[in-house]
A and B are shown apart, each in its own frame.
Chain A
Amino acid sequence: MKKPNVAALLLLLALAMFGLWAVADELQDANALFKQGNQAQALDKVNSYLASHPKDAKARFLQGLIYTEQNKTAEAIKVFTSLTEDYPELPEPYNNLAVLYAAQGQYDKARNALETAIRTHPSYATAHENLGDIYAKLATQAYDKALQFDKTNTTAQTKLELIKELFSSSPRAAKVTAKTDTAKTDTVAAVTPSTPEPQKVKTDNAAKENQPVATAAAGDDTQDVLKTVNDWAKAWSKGDVAAYLAFYAQDFKTPNGESREAWEKSRKERISKSMSIQVTVIDPKVTLSDATHAKAGFKQDYRSNTLKSTTAKNLLLVKSGDKWLIQREQAGR
């Protein structure tokens, strides 16, 4: 463990004065042990903590995670189920229940759990992604029944993202997917993590799938598109709402089909609310589908005071006069 600095020592003293020191420490230790992969000891700690705090949601959540890691699926399901009963408003236990059900092949139950998570938190990105995978899996099963495929058909089992922190759903725009890179979240202080750590980081196909068109004429356009994308990220980073919105075409397809006006309003609110935003475009790949249409795929690294995420993003752009404007914005893999 890191050597505590003075400020931290003062904080610890304050906690000790309120008599919370020992117990808080126990849960933190359990968390740390869990992250180090020491499940047995983590479980001891969390159980001892739960003996005095049987209702504590964070501790029970951690207990569920430990059981999951230990492949004690039945116990894990029991813990997360009781959390959904006591805290029906929390989406994380539903998500993790869904992960466990899916691992057992109980896709209908997984779907119900995820749909419940999304009902309480419509913008919950991990649950959305997991649900998308579940729908695809259920569709495959339905098609198999329709087409009389053999049950032994060995399709890869759907692997969903387990959420490892409670209260991880920071407020954010529905389409900004908070799928973070495990390597990066390690640098975030373990005391107050604010983003989910996916168990599995999906491979990024978008980055590989299309090579830029390499003709001379297209080269200029490709450069223009790249510049547009970078300028767009800059305007966003500066919190310059007017400049940011000017990058979107008149016929921009709003992410949830809302009106342009409603979308602009919500963007304005989000961008002006964050005290600091840093958006970086990583590994951009530009594909021109014709003279006036282009796709820019890249990793979007987003950091604000409340959220830090790396997502794959695709922008579909249309050329209007000599400017490229965003027609669609897709977050995803």
Chain B
Amino acid sequence: MMHKLAYGAALGLTLGLAGSASSMNDQALRAAVAYAPPQEPEALLVNSLLEISRNRLDMAMVEIDNAIKANPNFRLAHLIKGDLLLAHTRPINTIGDAPNAPHQRIVELREEAKARLQRRSQHPPLDYIPKYLLQMHPGQHYAIVVDISLSTLYLYQNLNGEPRYVTDYYISSGKNGSEKLKEGDQRTPLGVYFVTATLPKSQLSDFYGAGAYPISYPNEWDRQHGRDGHGIWLHGTPSNTYSRPPRSSNGCVVLTNQDLTTLGKTLQIGLTPVIISEHVEWMSPDNWRAQRNALVSQIENWRRDWENRDTDAYLRHYAKNFNANGHTLSQWAKQKHRVNAAKTWIKVDVSNVSMFLYPGYENLAVVNFDQDYSSSNLSTQMKKRQYWIKENNHWKIVYEDAA
């Protein structure tokens, strides 16, 4: 005879925290399973939890054994298996009802169970787009969006200019949460970053697992706002560990080795955006198109006004608190008036434009493009980065420099 596993309270808390249903119901779990690729360890684990919630403990054991077979280092799966076995001898009242277990480890594994269920049950509609991905340029094949609150990394593919959902992965982030501010604060930064390098397994200790991909924290926006620290990477897990608890890193984004290896194949050094948000916001495709077109036309106006040598109109595209490498708007204006007056013609070409909305701000966008500038006395080609912000409901440039 088997005793019931009373997991309800532990799992219900998940959705309660997210402000959704007060308990994990069957429908939510079914939805959770629908998105999980069938033979992934996480999908098998979620299946097992689903069977437990229906009190079908034999089936739950089959699923959890499969999860362990899929990855023998899946500690959470071993914990659930322990509960399922012990349920033969006495009632189990919560996840990880192990006698004499170290409290902190049990708490962490419970958090992982909650996180894995929660991210499975709160999947957005597949055709919705994270609002940050306003535009990828044709050479950017993929984009990464991280939702810290859901312990999830979403991978999007650039399909003829439209971001298309590919997959998502469970991730661990900083012990002390997000909004990194200072070196050593063990927080994960929020912002728009790019993959800057690849560090193969052979150059790393086992702690980083299958490899690492540093990202561009702190970026120019972080530095302007006094945020420092370094060494924020996407990386894997030690060889004896399948996954780490949701809040366990020193600020890095940690994936399973298997997921990191798969993800690694999509990454382009210097190109692939990694956008980290506390709560990802989603847009319908129509809304996304409207937002994108609005910013595209503002960038085009800026380019045209510059090309027309209408310096006053051109300068109206800049925000009052504009700042580029310590230059204020008035210094910038003075220099532009002087330079433009000396020219008889200007031609500006802008290509490979990417536009990413900045997490944590209502209206802030990072815009990158290739700028081909020629004029009567000077020609340059450069990669440029601008930050656009909405001022009185109009997009204005608040930062501009070579990228």
Contact = CB atoms under 8 A, between A and B. Distances in A.
B130 interface: no
Interface stretch (B83-91, B213-221, B278-286, B378-386): B83-91
Contacts of A139: 81-83, 85-86, 89, 98
B79 interface: yes
Contact of B96 (A138, A141, A146): A146
B105 interface: yes
A146 B79 CA distance: 5
A98 to B, nearest CB: 14
B86 A147 contact: no
B98 A147 contact: yes
Contacts of A143: 78-79, 82, 96, 98, 101
B109 interface: yes
Contacts of A140: 82
B342 interface: no
B1 interface: yes
A131 interface: yes
A148 B98 CA distance: 13
Question: For A132, A135, A142, which residue has the most chain B Cβ atoms within 10 angstroms?
Answer: A142
A231 to B, nearest CB: 29
Contacts of B105: 146-148
Contact of B88 (A131, A141, A146): A131
A142 B88 contact: no
A142 B89 contact: no
A226 to B, nearest CB: 28
A135 B88 CA distance: 7
B101 A136 contact: no
A136 B75 contact: no
Contacts of B346: none
Contacts of A135: 85-86, 88-89
Interface string A139-172: 1111101111000000000000000000000000
Among B1, B83, B85, B106, which residue has the most Cβ atoms of chain A within 10 A?
Answer: B85
Main secondary structure of the interface of A (DSSP, over half): helix
A142 B78 contact: yes
Nearest to B241: A148
Contacts of B83: 139
Interface size class of A (residues with CB under 8 A): 10 to 19
A211 interface: no
Contacts of A147: 75, 79, 98, 101-102, 105-106, 109
A142 B98 CA distance: 10
A257 B79 CA distance: 28
A256 interface: yes
A54 to B, nearest CB: 38
Interface residues of B, number: 19
B112 to A, nearest CB: 11
Given A132-B88, A139-B86, A146-B76, A256 B101 contact: no
Nearest to A132: B89
Most buried by B among A131, A139, A140, A148: A139
A143 B95 CA distance: 11
A142 B95 CA distance: 13
Contacts of B85: 135-136, 138-139, 142
B101 A148 contact: no
A146 B78 CA distance: 5
A91 B102 CA distance: 39
Contacts of A138: 85
Nearest to A256: B1
Contacts of B101: 143, 147
Nearest to A174: B1
B65 to A, nearest CB: 10
A242 to B, nearest CB: 28
A136 B86 contact: yes
A138 B81 CA distance: 9
Interface string B42-80: 000000000000000000000000000000000110110
Given A135-B88, A136-B86, A142-B81, A257 B98 contact: no
B68 to A, nearest CB: 9
B61 to A, nearest CB: 11
Contacts of B76: 146
A132 B83 CA distance: 13
Contacts of A131: 88
A147 B76 CA distance: 9
A105 to B, nearest CB: 16
A148 B75 contact: yes
A136 to B, nearest CB: 5
Interface string B1-34: 1000000000000000000000000000000000
Given A132-B88, A142-B81, A147-B106, 15 more contacts: A131-B88, A135-B89, A136-B85, A136-B86, A138-B85, A141-B82, A145-B75, A145-B78, A146-B76, A146-B82, A146-B105, A146-B109, A147-B79, A147-B109, A257-B1
* A-B interface, 5 closest residue pairs, ranked by CB to CB distance from nearest: A142-B82, A146-B79, A139-B85, A146-B78, A143-B98
30 contacts: A131-B88, A132-B88, A135-B85, A135-B88, A135-B89, A136-B85, A138-B85, A139-B82, A139-B83, A139-B85, A139-B89, A139-B98, A142-B78, A142-B82, A142-B85, A143-B78, A143-B79, A143-B82, A143-B96, A143-B98, A146-B75, A146-B76, A146-B78, A146-B79, A147-B75, A147-B101, A147-B105, A148-B105, A256-B1, A257-B1
